[in-house]
Amino acid sequence: MGTLSAADEFFNVRRLDVQKIENLLRSGSLYNCRSELDSLLDEIRFDDLHSLVLRMYVCTDIYISARSFSRELGISDSAFAEQFGEADDIELKITAVDGTKDLLYILVEQCINWRIKASRENVGSVVKNAQKFIESNYMREDISLNSIAYEVGLSPSYFSSLFKKETGKCLSDFLNEVRINRSKQLLCCTSKMIYEIAFEVGFQDYRYFSQIFKKFTGQTPRQFQTKANLST
């Protein structure tokens, strides 16, 4: 198959998934960020883009995502531009596909380095933000290590170890503790059925809820409810 013409490239180009780039910046690891970026670029067949204009589109999307993310980390626009230039400067650096990818590697790696540095300097606030997020979203079925780590902008593995180090609890235990404390309030103060309460606090399986409840309280939900009603 021959090389596509510039016109054909425009008609066949695939749009970069910017959300995936943002996910990479927020939770990707420094160790494999190049391979992850390669996978995202492979999705749009970046290596086959001979058009400088099309490569500019891709680079600009990643540049804008990186700049926006760096602002969240407290990196000033001037500091970002000093290292990577303004968006209008990109064209001078991407005359070849390989040179373009090298630029993008450095851009993504630097953002992840900034993120790691910021998280280390603000460990307490990161953990507190995670706890607040859990306390507000404990009832969601999709809440998980991955979703919480994404919320605070860290990789799941790093966030998990950080949370345990700061609180002395693993993330799942903290989440279950929040859920059980809320379920105790509902058992004491409402006439809802126990299975309804289990579902309301985020457990999809009544038996699992009972198991976790007993682990934290030493009683089954029914025993706790009965005892609470007798004492009122």
The domain spans of the chain are: 6-121, 123-169, 172-230
pLDDT tier at 118, thresholds 50, 70, 90 = confident
- End-to-end Cα separation, the chain, in angstroms: 82
Give the residue among 133, 132, 172, 126 at the shortest CA–CA distance from 153: 126
pLDDT-above-70 percentage for the chain: 91
pLDDT digit string (tens) for 127-155? 998 999 999 999 998 899 999 988 887 77
Q: Indicate if the alpha-carbon torsion angle 151, 31, 14, 57 is positive or negative.
A: positive
d(CA 173, CA 25): 28
Look at the block and give the residue holding tokens 């070849």. 96
Q: Are 65 and 21 in contact (CB under 8 A)?
A: yes
Look at the block and give the residue holding tokens 């126990």. 194
**Burial (CB count within 10 angstroms: exposed 0-12, middle 13-18, buried 19+), residue 158:** middle
d(CA 67, CA 22): 11
> Token pair for residue 204?
């999809």
pLDDT digit string (tens) for 153-197? 777 888 898 899 889 999 999 999 999 999 999 998 888 899 999
Q: Which residues contact 191 (CB under 8 A, 6 or more apart)?
A: none
Higher-pLDDT residue of 178 and 115 is 178
Residues belonging to the chain: 232
> Token pair for residue 147?
């979703």
Q: Quick check: do 123-169 and 172-230 share a fold?
A: yes
The whole-number average pLDDT for the span 95-99 is 69
One of 3.90.870.10, 3.90.470.10, 3.90.700.10, 1.10.10.60 is the CATH number of 172-230, namely 1.10.10.60
Q: Tell me the C-alpha to C-alpha distance, in Å, between residue 185 and each of 174, 194, 209, 222.
A: 17, 12, 15, 13
- Computed over every residue of the chain, the mean pLDDT equals 86
Cα angle: 155, vertex 161, 164; to 5 degrees: 130
- What was the pLDDT predicted at 232? 52
> Token pair for residue 18?
């910017």
Give the residue among 225, 195, 140 at the shortest CA–CA distance from 217: 225
User: Does domain 123-169 correspond to CATH entry 3.40.50?
Assistant: no
Query: Would you say residue 7 has pLDDT above 50?
Result: no
pLDDT digit string (tens) for 32-63? 999 999 999 999 888 888 788 888 888 889 99
